[in-house]
Amino acid sequence: MNKVYIAGAHSRAATMGYYLTYLDTETEIVAFLYDNDEVNPLQINGVPVVKINNNSELNKEYPVYLATRGVNHSQLRNTLIECGMKNIIPVDVELDMSIRNKYLKKYFSSIGRKYVKIDDLFIQKKSTEALPSSYFGRIYVASSAFDSELKTKYEYAEYESILQVGTELTNRRLATNYYDNLGENISEKNRQFCELTGLYWIWKNTTEDIVGLEHYRRRFILPIDWKEKMLSNDIDVILPVPLYVNPSIEDNYKFRHVKANWNNMLQYINEYYSEEYDDALSFFRECSLYSPCNMFIMKKEVLDDLCAWMFPILLFIVEKGGELDDKYQNRYPGFISERLITYFFEKHRDKYEVVYADKNFLE
């Protein structure tokens, strides 16, 4: 039995623990460790959650996966070093990406489905030359006048353009031709809807055949020939690599966010899409995978279908839930939309061809 510790006591730690034990049934998590004064659960999936200090007695030979937010790594790492731990493994973006992809490949295989990434595809036919240059469209990078400056140097690809979101809420203008308060828009709702005011603008005001949405700090990691691969393989949608959450999409949301807003979403589906309510409920309560961050690349007609279904739900829950004092929790339309997008493409799995792509995080 391979015994390990996980440093962390929240969703990242629980997810990493699940990945490790799923990929290797010989792995045993001895304990989840933390050293702060936060209120933490007593156990995660039956494994004890233990507060440590520099005098704690841990088995120094066991590896420790440091699975917390990056800002907490330094303090917790120092505590582990003071405890004499010899093998501390930070779960950075690269390690998380590697383990997550291994998990997804094994999981999809276990349910008889293929886990396909845009990187895995080959160009099937030389048909791109006959298409107009506008066909491949544009990936809009949702950016705000209030964004902090990036430390990471990043050069925009020729198909990426800044889309200023929340434009209606400020007189400041970014250097771009695309603003979410032009044409039909919900720019004034940006404090709650965040990048979704950009999605709404794309839906109502763009005509490219293929459109995408990224964030100023989160970008897709794409092969150089992704456009040709998408076209020649008849791919409808590229979504971010799914994330595992414990124990289900619904329970994880209710644990991390305001339950009433989730219940309002289910109420809308029950009232207006009663024929699919039971399927939606089963999906949210049984599935533990969703594609995060409201990022995508997809054919415009597919985006039209998605938005026509999803935005009435989001506008309904905001009408019911109102604005919240907590700025983070006030963004609940965006948190719910991540789950709705995942459900939409699962229920239309036989209609749309979906593949996945990794994403990075720019400092």
Which phi and psi (to 5°) does residue 123 adopt?
Answer: -70, 120
What's the pLDDT score for residue 151?
86
What's the pLDDT score for residue 127?
53
Q: The whole model's pTM is what?
A: 0.93
What's the pLDDT score for residue 363?
83
The CATH classification number of 118-361 equals: 3.90.550
Rounded Cα distance, 83 and 53, in Å:
7
Q: How far is CA 279 from the centre of its chain?
A: 22
Rounded Cα distance, 187 and 204, in Å:
12
DSSP 210-254: EEEEEESSEEE---TTHHHHHHHTT--EEEEPPEE-SS-HHHHHH
Q: Residues 252, 5, 55, CA angle at the centre, nearest 5°?
A: 115
CA-CA-CA-CA torsion sign (101, 118, 347, 185): positive
User: If the chain, 363 residues long, is cut into consecutive pieces of 10 residues, what is the mean pLDDT of each piece?
Assistant: 94 94 96 92 93 92 92 87 94 94 97 96 68 73 93 90 98 97 98 98 95 96 93 95 95 95 98 96 97 97 98 98 97 98 97 97 86
Which residues belong to CATH 3.40.50.720 in the chain? 2-110
The CATH classification number of 2-110 equals: 3.40.50.720
Which residues belong to CATH 3.90.550 in the chain? 118-361
Contact predicate 329/194, CB 8 Å: no
